[in-house]
Structure 1
Amino acid sequence: MPTYEYHCPACDATYELRQGFDAPTTHPCEECGKGTAKRVLHAPPIVFKGSGWYITDSRNKLSAVNDSESSGSEATVGSASESTGEAAAAS
């Protein structure tokens, strides 16, 4: 069962309760009994482990791939235009 943090705006108390996932998000304050305590949401911590998460990890690989793709596509376009030029000259 997870532990949730609750905050009561009436008495400014903050406390934790261990409840199930289906527990309501509001309930009467356990400190003062007058206010309505609401569940406080926190962003979960995220840890990126391994390579490939930073731009510097893949910069050399990407630039090499982009260079080979661009030179390969230019060679294909150039050879296609040369072959059509030769075919027109032969006619």
Structure 2
Amino acid sequence: MPIYEYACRACEHEFEALHKMSDPALRDCPECKAAELVKKVSAAGFRLKGGGWYETDFKSGDKKKNLAGDGGATSAPATSSSSD
């Protein structure tokens, strides 16, 4: 559930509220009880940063992306050489 920020026009009280996106916006201020609340515009609380956010990052096969955090290097198949 997202966190919404609200401000009261009457008493200037500001607070955050956790509710579903499908729920109606709050109207009544919890401090002064006036029906003067407005939703504030705020930034998201997360960032999509780093690898793993694109379709090509999850392809299977010989060239899987190594998501262990080594800068996006691809993993090479192990080979063994035997000298008889």
* Structure with the greater alpha carbon radius of gyration: 1
Higher strand share: 1
Higher helix share: 1
